[in-house]
Chain A
Amino acid sequence: MKIFVCVKQVPDTETKIKLKADASGIDTAGVKWVMNPYDEYAVEEAVKARETGKATSVTVFSVGPKSRIVETLRTALAMGADEAVAIDAPEDLDSGLTAKALAAAMKGEGEFGAVFTGKLAIDDNLSAVSQMLAENLQIPHTTVVSKLEIGDSMVAEREIEGGTKEIVQLSKPALIGANKGLNMPRYPSLPGIMKAKKKVIKELTLDGLGLASAQAAFKHTAFQLPAEKPPVKMLEGDAAAQSKTLATLLRQEAKVL
């Protein structure tokens, strides 16, 4: 079976965020881009499945400005993915349109047994694309997966509230949203990087996918930087004195105890 993997290019967490002058978004000049950390788990799991004979090939898909996202697609190829598809789109597509674009592109790539994504993208933290994509493809899904077995069906372990785990069985094709713990993503090897450079990345457009006139369901607007926090109150004295003051402050000043 073929595995399709979604990879999103996101600003590195260490990146300082500056807003555009009109507060319509972030200023992307000077942003360092990386593969969404959860998508690394998705790519690793797919490549591992191919290496162990559970999958025949791995195709990675990304939606975003073409000139930029090819970098993340090449990273996935260098990790061992076989093929890559770049869907050229503005960077402020909403989750619904992103999922529609991914679904349309996947339908053009033939039969598949599984779709792997990350459980969420760390830039806007929505955790929406995976489930919407599953709905668009009319396949079952489960997210926050930290263990996966691929056989005739797929058995996924997902962590839910309070450390409780759910074991979910899905008939194929199915979509899995990867969580930390699923595996240890590999670093791209030098031969991998050299090979990835030579691979042709397929390019699609929203127009070509019939989505040029599709409407977004929401937009992020009026961006703001967080309000300044009042400066920290440093406590004085030895351990006993600091503890006493702290307990009093938490109860009487902060009123959280």
Chain B
Amino acid sequence: MSKVLIFAEIADGKVKKGAFELLTAARSASLSTQVLALGTGSKAALQTLSGWSITEAFAGDNSAFNNYNPEVFAETVASAIKDSGADIVLASSSLLARDLFPRVAAKLGSAAVSDCTDLTLAGGLKVRRPMYSGKCSAEVTFLANGPKIVLMRANQLPVGEPAGAGAVTVKDLPAPTATGLRTLIKDIVKGASGKLDLTEANIIVSGGRGLKEAANFKLVEDLAATCGATVGASRAIVDAGWVSHSIQVGQTGKTVAPSLYIAIGISGAIQHLAGMSGSKVIVAINKDANAPIFQKASYGVVGDLFEVVPALTQEFKTLFQ
């Protein structure tokens, strides 16, 4: 019987959605499930997880874990995995996890596979992940004896409801020793947006060169505001300096997997598609009926974005009133 350890990220004192996707998967497979979280407030956050069939929980409730330091995190997480006896480790494929777990895997002599889109736990671990910019996918066969580390892309698994009560006992993980550290987090410069990161967002509204000039990006922001979406962009307008690279979607930007992706004035170049073709529903708004984006879209609107987008913003406003 497999023993699963879920690495839960905490934001604003709460367990993030990605961890609930993993908790749901582990519970439906009736596996023995442990949870691990790091940072101030993690203990209290884990204590709220009753109803998720957790056998053990571990918290490094220490400010030394508030900012991600690869050295500190890798040491702590690797030894916690060893102590837990887990043979499967699950985490969301966040930037933090993608950076952390390969180093942990190297410590443990095992493998970490990131950005997985399919996960089966019942009847043995089965994992698939896209390759070659989403042009094909492959199953992962683990060969090493160490724990199998699987990082799941956000929004791929359903989230259930907690079932039943019962207190979760959370054990404390020791604070890291700060001697001999070669990595120092000097500063954190907060981004402007309070919105979900593109990689976690459920709805994304993206703009491209069809917007003509920087000021018109406001059309994208206005539409996004009506439905709680995160804004994205094609590389063309990032390179033009209209918006920051942090919101670029695509091969040299972010890979996203929202339920809804609205592409406005974006032609659908292969490098853009590489980042967004995993979206569940894709809407393309483009005046050129032959734009390649329509081949990937679920719904196509051929028209002038300067007319369509304000009209759609109005519709959404009415819808969400």
Interface residues of A (CB under 8 A from B): 11, 13-14, 16-17, 19, 26, 37-38, 94-96, 99, 122-132, 134-136, 139-144, 146, 155, 159-171, 174, 180-181, 215-226, 229-230, 232-235, 238-240, 242-244, 246-247, 249-251, 254, 256-257
- Which A residue sits closest to B297, measured CB to CB? A232
Find B140's partner among A163, A166, A218, A238 (CB 8 Å cutoff): A218
B298 touches A254 (CB 8 A): yes
B138 touches A223 (CB 8 A): yes
B182 touches A139 (CB 8 A): yes
- Give the complex CA separation of A250 and B269 in angstroms: 24
A26 touches B281 (CB 8 A): no
B86-120: contact bitstring with A at CB < 8 Å (1 yes, 0 no)?
00000000111011101101110111111100000
CB-CB under 8 A from A225, the residues of chain B are 135-136
Number of A-B contacts (CB under 8 A): 269
Q: Is B76 an interface residue (CB 8 A)?
A: no
28 residue pairs bridging A and B, Cβ less than 8 Å apart: A13-B251, A96-B105, A96-B144, A122-B274, A125-B115, A130-B102, A135-B103, A160-B95, A161-B199, A164-B189, A164-B190, A165-B191, A166-B67, A168-B183, A169-B185, A170-B183, A171-B182, A217-B109, A217-B110, A217-B142, A220-B141, A225-B135, A226-B134, A233-B300, A234-B289, A238-B303, A250-B260, A254-B280
Q: Is B265 an interface residue (CB 8 A)?
A: no
- Give the complex CA separation of A127 and B254 in angstroms: 13
B132 touches A123 (CB 8 A): yes
B182 touches A170 (CB 8 A): yes
Closest CB pairs A-B (n = 7): A163-B191, A217-B111, A128-B102, A217-B144, A135-B106, A239-B307, A161-B197
Q: Is the interface of B mostly helix, strand, loop or mixed?
A: mixed
Find A243's partner among B103, B134, B300, B315 (CB 8 Å cutoff): B315
- Which A residue sits closest to B252, measured CB to CB? A180
Find A132's partner among B106, B196, B203 (CB 8 Å cutoff): B106
CB-CB under 8 A from B281, the residues of chain A are 250, 254, 256
Q: Is B137 an interface residue (CB 8 A)?
A: yes
A13 touches B270 (CB 8 A): yes
B137 touches A223 (CB 8 A): yes
A167 touches B186 (CB 8 A): yes
Interface residues of B (CB under 8 A from A): 67-68, 70-71, 74, 94-96, 98-100, 102-103, 105-107, 109-115, 128-144, 146, 182-197, 199-200, 203, 227, 244-248, 251-253, 255, 259-260, 270-271, 274, 277, 280-281, 283-284, 289, 294-304, 307-308, 311-312, 314-316, 318-319
Q: Is the interface of A mostly helix, strand, loop or mixed?
A: mixed
- Give the complex CA separation of A122 and B312 in angstroms: 35
B57 to chain A, nearest CB (A): 24
CB-CB under 8 A from A96, the residues of chain B are 105-106, 109, 111, 144
B227 touches A234 (CB 8 A): no
B187 touches A128 (CB 8 A): no
A222 touches B274 (CB 8 A): no
CB-CB under 8 A from A234, the residues of chain B are 289, 294, 300, 302
A196 to chain B, nearest CB (A): 25
CB-CB under 8 A from A219, the residues of chain B are 140-141, 143
B310 to chain A, nearest CB (A): 8
- Give the complex CA separation of A159 and B53 in angstroms: 35
CB-CB under 8 A from A165, the residues of chain B are 188-189, 191
A184 to chain B, nearest CB (A): 10
A159 touches B246 (CB 8 A): yes
Given the known A-B contacts A96-B111, A160-B95, are A13 and B274 also in contact in the complex, defined by CB atoms under 8 Å?
yes
B103 touches A122 (CB 8 A): no
B308 touches A239 (CB 8 A): yes
B141 touches A218 (CB 8 A): yes
- Which A residue sits closest to B195, measured CB to CB? A162
A217 touches B315 (CB 8 A): no
CB-CB under 8 A from A14, the residues of chain B are 270
CB-CB under 8 A from B140, the residues of chain A are 218-221
Find A257's partner among B255, B271, B319 (CB 8 Å cutoff): B319
CB-CB under 8 A from A16, the residues of chain B are 135
B12 to chain A, nearest CB (A): 12
15 new A-B contacts at CB < 8 Å, known A162-B246, A169-B185:
A13-B251, A13-B270, A122-B132, A128-B112, A131-B70, A135-B106, A160-B95, A166-B185, A169-B183, A223-B131, A232-B294, A233-B299, A243-B308, A246-B283, A247-B318
A163 touches B193 (CB 8 A): yes
CB-CB under 8 A from B192, the residues of chain A are 163
A94 touches B111 (CB 8 A): yes
CB-CB under 8 A from B253, the residues of chain A are 180
A235 touches B301 (CB 8 A): yes
